[in-house]
Each structure stands twice: as structure tokens, then as C-alpha cells.
Structure 1
Amino acid sequence: MSLHHTINYLEMPVRDIQSTKDFFSQVFGWEFVDYGPEYSCFLNAGITGGFYLSTQDFTLAKGSPLLVIYSNELAQSLQKVTDAGGTISQPIFEFPGGRRFHFLDPNGNEYAIWSE
């Protein structure tokens, strides 16, 4: 059930649908439903959304919002990101409320992972 005035879906550009699905499945265990060759919906991510084929990417330097993913084991998540082909763009650092790091997925899109 969708709740009035809440964010309930997120769409992000990617250069390669299959490598994106492989990366997010390997690192986070997300599942996917394809809607043609240029769109894939992700599930089990805390919010439902989709990846669409595009030549664009998103980073904080370009003024994009930062998608932040929670982890119980920050160092383990960092290792999984690098093992799956992600690039650490900002190593683990502390901030009020926890610690986090930023990474680029294989498309060059920037995300963060945080923990208490």
C-alpha cells in the first residue's frame, strides 16, 4: 500500500543494465524484474525503484542527491563493493551519528553506505 505524500519509487540512470544488476545483486542481494532491455526494477532495497538505460551518471559533484544505504557491517560492505568492481571515492569517515564511505558503481554513479 502506498502512503500519501511519501517517496515510494526511485529511478536511476545506468550505462549497462546487466552489469548494474550483477553489481547490486552481488553487493546487496537485491533482486530484479526486467521490463524490456532498457529498464529493470530493483526489489529488496528498502524502497522499490528502477534502473533505466542512459548515457548519464550522477555524483555529488554534479549536484545530484546522495543515495545512502545502511549496513550493519561497514568494513564488510566496503570489501563487497570493491570485490564487485565498485570504486571507493571517499574512504570511511565519521560524521555525527555514525560512519560512512562513498563509492562509485560500475556506471560511475555515486552512493554512500553508513553504519552507527
Structure 2
Amino acid sequence: MDWGNFPKQDFYKGLIRLKKENKALFNGEHGGNIKFINVKNDNVLVFLREKEDNRVLVFANLSDKEVNLEVPLDGYAGKYKDFYSNETVKLMKNQTVKLSAWGYVIYVK
């Protein structure tokens, strides 16, 4: 694939790399099922895919307003890596998440 010089090329390269490397995102029966996590905001999507010891947890704000909400992570709390910054974060059982307008975060394990 010719990546050329496109504004979002690093973003897409990173997502493709994550899909190829994390078993939770493998296709079909080889990957993990999707689990949607209920939050008290219709404009926020939180989901998880998990396969063996691999986990991908995504928080996405689908609105033009900043949001700050508590997300119940029962059974999914623990240490993760922020996919883009590569920083280790510890997510709590009842995690408070702040997302900018149209913002998102991807955590991997």
C-alpha cells in the first residue's frame, strides 16, 4: 500500500498494526466477541474485545461536546497501555473518563 503523505496516515497505520498484533481484534472466531459497556450518556460508546490475555477497550465521544462520566468496568479494571501514548494507566472498577468533543481513547492489554 502506498501511504504517500496523507494527513491521517499515522493514525491508520497504528490501527492496522493493532488489528494485526492483538488477538482480541482478529477476524471472526479467531478474535474476541464485542461487549458493549452501558454508560449514562447516549453520545458515548464504550466497548471491549477480549481474547485470551489480549484486551482492547475503547471509549468514544460521538458528540461535539466534552463529556465527563463514570464508566462501570466491573471485571475489566486493571493496568492497560494507552495505545497512542504508550503510557501505562490503571483503570478502576468505576472509572471516571473525560473525553473532548469527538474524542476517543484506546486502551490495550
Give the structure-1-normalised TM-score. 0.28
